[in-house]
């Protein structure tokens, strides 16, 4: 395999740094050529010094000026420093890049991911919010441009691997595994008082803040249900969830003859990232699973009463694209308010439910329409949070 040149959207985040660690361990296979970061100037600077990409993008013009100045002082030249959406789009479409890792968190990554598809890049997709908000548009563009969308989200990566065991029309249904998060056994009566500090402690995965809170509410699994419907062209009723606290089986595909294929590996995102970047080949790695240490695999039915976000996601998936956009946008606003201490834990599903109830069925026909619907849902979420705070006060 010749060296694949990699663009990373969200290079300073949890998935972004894991991607760079794969580049570090497989220097003959992968080389980063473009990086897009949010506001973490220090890490972006260090990544530029280490990897000397052709292009780096950072969120604002002020940060881009600071980054340019620091690179100049450090004697690092030849890196184009950009900012904002134009910068992330340039990183996503760099002519020299063979493969784009989409790992900006939230709808902020949508335009760049869509631009990468239009530019015909092979994509390793971590950013699930893109598919939730604009899955139909992205999949349609990928089909037209002959682009492969390789899932990095561990469950969808597992499904992608298990689907190599049979034909699409032989699939009966798929099973997404869920760790259940830190509150799997917490009584419902205690949910109202859950603090951000408690919710940020995930039992099996180390991840960015939003996805960690989403795992605690199980909205993450809800987003993954919609992501799976889009990626694998399945109706919501064929995407099931099973709670599997050990996170050893990453997901399963059930075939019409009764066979169920599962994917087992270490709980380390570097493996799905490596799989996506190497696809259709497999590369050796040291991410070995210790079969001798495997003692127990537990499974439980998800509890829709304690985790209403799961129900809300199924409802949005069955309703319309506008409802999926609203689900994601309302959650993003509610999670940020919860982290600031302005909303109780159960305020997250309450905010989502309120915004969904205000949403009319629609199918946006362009990314701009998706972004407009997204902005509208965010405003409604802010309003719902303000009203709830006023009622409590």
Query: Which positions touch Mg ion (CB under 5 A)?
Result: 153-155
- Helix, strand, coil shares of the chain, percent, nearest 5, are 55, 15, 35
Spell out where 147-287 has E strands.
Answer: 149-151, 171-178, 239-243, 249-255, 260-264
Q: Which does 40 bind (CB under 5 to 8 A by kind): ligand NAD, Mg ion, none?
A: ligand NAD
**Residue placing its CB nearer to ligand NAD in the complex, 39 or 387:** 39
Residue nearest to Mg ion (CB): 153
> For Mg ion, which is the closer residue by CB, 155 or 374?
155
Could you give the 3-state DSSP secondary structure of residue 328? Answer: helix
Least separation in angstroms between residue 133's CB and Mg ion is 17
Give which of 68, 232, 100 is closest to 164, Cα–Cα.
232
Binding at 253: pick from ligand NAD, Mg ion, none (beta carbon under 5-8 Å per type): none
In sequence order, what are the beta bridge partners of 122?
A: 99
Residue 368, phi then psi, degrees to nearest 5: -60, -40
Shortest Å, Cβ 209 to Mg ion: 15
For 195-307, where are the alpha helices, taking DSSP H only?
Answer: 196-199, 209-217, 219-232, 270-278
The distance of closest approach from Cβ of residue 99 to ligand NAD in the complex, given in angstroms and rounded to an integer, is 16
Judged by beta carbon, residue 26 or residue 83, the one nearer ligand NAD is 83
Of these partners, Mg ion, ligand NAD, none, which one is at the site of residue 347 (CB under 5 to 8 Å by kind)?
none
135, containing H or E segment: helix 128-145
Q: Which residue, 104 or 123, is less far from ligand NAD as judged by CB? A: 104
Nearer to ligand NAD, 328 or 380 (CB): 328
Residue 16 or 388 having the CB closest to ligand NAD = 16
CB of 261: closest distance to Mg ion in angstroms? 18
| 49-75: burial string, b at 16+ Cβ within 10 Å, e else | eebebbbbbbbeeebbebbbebbeeee
Q: What is the smallest separation between the CB atom of 214 and ligand NAD, expressed in angstroms?
A: 7
| Residue closest to ligand NAD when measured from CB atoms | 13
Residue 257 CA, chain-centre distance (Å), reads 32
Q: Which stretches within 7-60 are classed as H helix?
A: 14-25, 41-51
CA–CA separation, 103 vs 6, rounded Å?
13
Contact footprint for ligand NAD (CB under 6 A): 10-16, 36-38, 40, 59, 88, 103-105, 108, 126-129, 153, 205, 207-208, 211, 269
Nearer to ligand NAD, 102 or 351 (CB): 102
Q: Read off the DSSP letter of residue 232.
A: H
Pick from 133, 144, 74, 78: which is nearest to 105 by CA? 133
Partner touching 88 among Mg ion, ligand NAD, none, CB below 5 to 8 Å by kind: ligand NAD
Q: Return the bridge partners of 55, or none.
A: 34, 80
Contact (Cβ atoms closer than 8 angstroms) between residue 14 and residue 97: no
- Which partner in ligand NAD, Mg ion, none is near 16 (CB below 5 to 8 A by kind)? ligand NAD
Min dist. Cβ of residue 217 to ligand NAD (A): 13
Quick check: 138 and 122 in contact, CB under 8 A? no
What does 25 interact with, of Mg ion, ligand NAD, none (CB < 5 to 8 A by kind)?
none
Q: Which two tokens stand for residue 87?
A: 């910068």
Q: Which is nearer to Mg ion, 89 or 226 (CB)?
A: 226
Residue 126 binds which of Mg ion, ligand NAD, none (CB < 5-8 A, kind-dependent): ligand NAD
* Minimum distance from residue 132 beta carbon to Mg ion (Å): 13
* Residue 37 contact among ligand NAD, Mg ion, none, beta carbon within 5 to 8 Å by kind: ligand NAD
Secondary structure class of 353 (helix, strand, coil): helix
Q: How far is the CB of 172 from Mg ion (least distance, A)?
A: 22
């Amino acid at each position: 395999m010749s060296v694949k040149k990699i663009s990373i959207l969200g290079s300073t985040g949890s998935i972004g740094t894991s991607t760079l660690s794969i580049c570090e361990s497989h220097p003959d296979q992968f080389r980063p050529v473009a990086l897009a970061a949010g506001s973490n100037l220090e890490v972006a600077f260090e990544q530029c010094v280490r990897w000397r990409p052709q292009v780096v993008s950072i969120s604002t013009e002020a940060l881009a000026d600071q980054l340019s100045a620091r690179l100049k002082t450090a004697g690092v030249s030849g890196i184009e420093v950009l900012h904002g959406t134009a910068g992330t789009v340039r990183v996503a479409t760099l002519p020299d890049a063979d493969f784009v890792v989409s790992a900006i968190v939230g709808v902020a990554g949508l335009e760049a991911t869509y631009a990468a598809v239009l530019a015909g890049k092979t994509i390793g997709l971590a950013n699930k919010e893109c598919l939730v908000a604009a899955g139909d548009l992205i999949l349609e563009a990928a089909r037209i441009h002959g682009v492969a969308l390789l899932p990095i989200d561990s469950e969808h990566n597992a499904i992608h691997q298990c689907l190599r065991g049979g034909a699409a029309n032989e699939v009966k249904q798929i099973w997404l595994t869920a760790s259940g998060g830190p509150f799997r056994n917490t009584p419902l009566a205690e949910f109202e008082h859950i603090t951000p500090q408690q919710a940020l402690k995930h039992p099996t995965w180390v991840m960015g803040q939003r996805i960690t809170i989403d795992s605690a509410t199980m909205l993450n699994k809800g987003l993954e249900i919609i992501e799976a419907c889009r990626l694998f062209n399945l109706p919501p009723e064929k995407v099931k969830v099973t709670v599997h606290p050990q996170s050893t089986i990453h997901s399963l595909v059930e075939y019409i003859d009764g066979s169920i294929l599962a994917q087992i590996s270490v709980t380390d995102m570097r493996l799905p990232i490596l799989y996506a970047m190497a696809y259709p080949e497999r590369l050796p790695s040291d991410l070995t699973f210790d079969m001798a240490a495997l003692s127990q695999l537990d499974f439980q039915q998800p509890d829709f009463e304690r985790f209403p976000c799961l129900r809300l996601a199924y409802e949005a998936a069955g309703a319309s694209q506008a409802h999926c956009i609203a689900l994601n946008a309302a959650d993003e606003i509610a999670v940020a308010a919860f982290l600031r201490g302005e909303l109780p834990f159960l305020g997250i599903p309450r905010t989502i439910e309120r915004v969904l109830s205000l949403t009319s069925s629609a199918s946006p026909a362009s990314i701009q329409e998706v972004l407009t619907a997204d902005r509208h849902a965010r405003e409604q979420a802010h309003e719902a949070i303000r009203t709830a705070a006023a009622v409590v006060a």
